[in-house]
Amino acid sequence: MSGVKIIGTGSYVPEFIADNNKFSEFLDTSDEWITPRTGIKQRHILTDKPNFYMGVQAAQRAIEDAGVNPKDLDLVLVSTCSPDFFYPSMACLIQKKTGAVNAAAIDVNSACTGFITAMDIAQKYLETDHYKKILIVATEKLSSQLDYTDRSMCILFGDAAGAAVVEKSDKPFHSMLGAAGDEFEALYCKIHYNSNCPFYDKEADHYNGIFDTFSKQNFLQSDGHAVYKFAVNAMDKAVRKVAEQRGIDLQDIDLVIPHQANLRIIKKATELLGISQEKVYTNIQNMGNVSSACIPVCLDELSKQGRLKEGMTVCFVGFGAGLTYGACIFDI
Ligand code: ACO
């Protein structure tokens, strides 16, 4: 099986910062509550532009970092669970703005697991040899889905985008994806259709009834306890699986970039795996949870800090709405 080589990275983080104290100005909350339970001190919010703007910025930076001509990109693969349109896809918008005129354009939505899903897909496309260079972008504007009167959820998330240009490599790459659709009600954001279809029978629509009664329609809803429990188990399972596929001990992993939902989840899961905290990269303190953009933003930070060294064995692991989960392990 061929591998995936990351030849360029980029990210975009909005300028506006909302630290924990800003939330105390309009909610009954505090830094003393938020920091110990989540690890989050601040998050960035895109206050004046659509989501795809961030994706384009991150993409352009990754393309420049890779030193490739956008015309040579064969595929634009975008992960988002907070798109600006039902259609066209975010990938088409980013394809247009980056000048990737020869590329196919596809969106994937496995929520926070999205960047890992995109890596898994990219590896399979690259293996066909029909696709030589792929731009992967994860762009998320969670602020557009949050209820800012719900203190248990709105403090957790931020906005950002991350991107990578990848090509085929002869180094090892292993990945796994999983889903537990029966747990979907633990984390969802329902689309609110303004349909005026005269034949629609709202009373008979069982799911519409459930969501209208128990949720605030199109805001992000989550059972934090259920997600927490799922996340720790899923991360443990996913990392063990890819390490086993690769045939290495967990201690042989040099760097883990986990999904950044809660610092306590990351610590608990990596402790169970017996992976030392020095090998685990986090930026949740400054970024909050930016869904599928967490991993590529971390990746870009590490790259710019010169911390991605040739020969390192890196593991991405994540989980998200669905509920979904996944991991990949590869050599730089
Ligand atoms: N400030 C002050 N008090 C709060 C806040 C807040 N921001 N949020 C909740 N509380 C209160 C609650 O109202 C509750 O009060 P009560 O006991 O009077 O009813 C009390 O704090 C305890 O609430 P819990 O929900 O039990 O708090 P918990 O310690 O479980 O932490 C949290 C909640 C941080 C969401 C945790 O469950 C968690 O990290 N879950 C996983 C992360 C998650 O769900 N992320 C969303 C999904 S994202 C993804 O990436 C997949």
Residue 327 Cα, ligand 1 centroid: separation in angstroms? 26
Beta bridge partners of 4: 168
Residue 152 Cα, ligand 1 centroid: separation in angstroms? 5
Beta bridge partners of 175: 328
pLDDT above 90 covers what percent of the chain? Answer: 89
pLDDT of residue 175: 98
Q: What is the DSSP letter of 160?
A: E
Question: In the predicted model, is pLDDT for residue 214 greater than 80?
Answer: no
Report the distance separating Cα 97 and Cα 56, nearest Å.
Answer: 7
Q: Which residue has the higher pLDDT, 203 or 18?
A: 18
Segment 82-138, tens digit of pLDDT: 999 999 999 999 999 999 999 999 999 999 999 999 999 999 999 998 999 999 999
* Residue having the nearest C-alpha atom to atom 32 of ligand 1: 224
Helix 263-273, helix 224-246: angle, nearest 10: 40
Residue 262 Cα, ligand 1 centroid: separation in angstroms? 11
pLDDT of residue 14: 98
Report the distance separating Cα 141 and Cα 12, nearest Å.
Answer: 12
Q: What is the mean pLDDT of residues 250-259?
A: 97
Residues 156 and 38 sit within 8 Å (Cβ to Cβ): yes
Segment 269-286, tens digit of pLDDT: 999 999 999 999 999 999
- Computed over its alpha carbons, how large is the radius of gyration of the chain? 19
pLDDT above 70 covers what percent of the chain? Answer: 96
Question: Look-up: residue for tokens 């989980």?
Answer: 319
**Which residues contact residue 9 at a Cβ distance below 8 angstroms, ignoring those fewer than 6 apart?**
61, 62, 65, 162, 163, 164, 165, 296, 299, 300, 303, 304
CA-nearest of 267, 255, 222 to 112 is 222
* Residue having the nearest C-alpha atom to atom 12 of ligand 1: 152
Question: In the predicted model, is pLDDT for residue 194 greater than 90?
Answer: no
Residues 291 and 143 sit within 8 Å (Cβ to Cβ): no
Catalytic entry in 289, 294, 298, 328: 289
Q: Which residues line ligand 1 (CB under 6 A)?
A: 29, 33-34, 37-38, 112, 151-152, 155-156, 187, 222, 224-225, 227-228, 261-262, 289, 319-320
* Residue having the nearest C-alpha atom to atom 37 of ligand 1: 224
Task: Specify the length of the chain in residues.
Answer: 332
Question: In the predicted model, is pLDDT for residue 213 greater than 70?
Answer: no
174 is catalytic: no
Question: In the predicted model, is pLDDT for residue 211 greater than 70?
Answer: no
Tokens of 326: 């996944």
Outline where the chain has alpha helix (H): 20-24, 31-38, 51-66, 90-98, 114-127, 151-154, 206-214, 224-246, 263-273, 284-287, 294-304
Residue 268 Cα, ligand 1 centroid: separation in angstroms? 17
Segment 148-164, tens digit of pLDDT: 999 999 999 999 999 99
Secondary structure (3-state) at 57:
helix
- Sketch out the chain's domains with CATH numbers: 3-170 (3.40.47.10), 174-183+220-331 (3.40.47.10)
Residue 330 Cα, ligand 1 centroid: separation in angstroms? 34
Give the mean pLDDT of the chain. Answer: 95
pLDDT of residue 208: 65
- Where are the extended beta strands (E) located within the chain? 3-12, 17-19, 42-44, 75-79, 104-108, 133-141, 159-169, 173-179, 187-188, 221-222, 255-258, 313-320, 324-331
pLDDT of residue 217: 64
Question: In the predicted model, is pLDDT for residue 174 greater than 80?
Answer: yes
Measured over all CA atoms, what is the biggest interatomic distance in the chain, rounded to whole angstroms? Answer: 62
Question: Look-up: residue for tokens 């203190």?
Answer: 151
Q: What is the mean pLDDT of residues 138-148?
A: 96
CA-nearest of 31, 24, 35 to 284 is 35
Tokens of 261: 């939902």
289 is catalytic: yes
112 is catalytic: yes
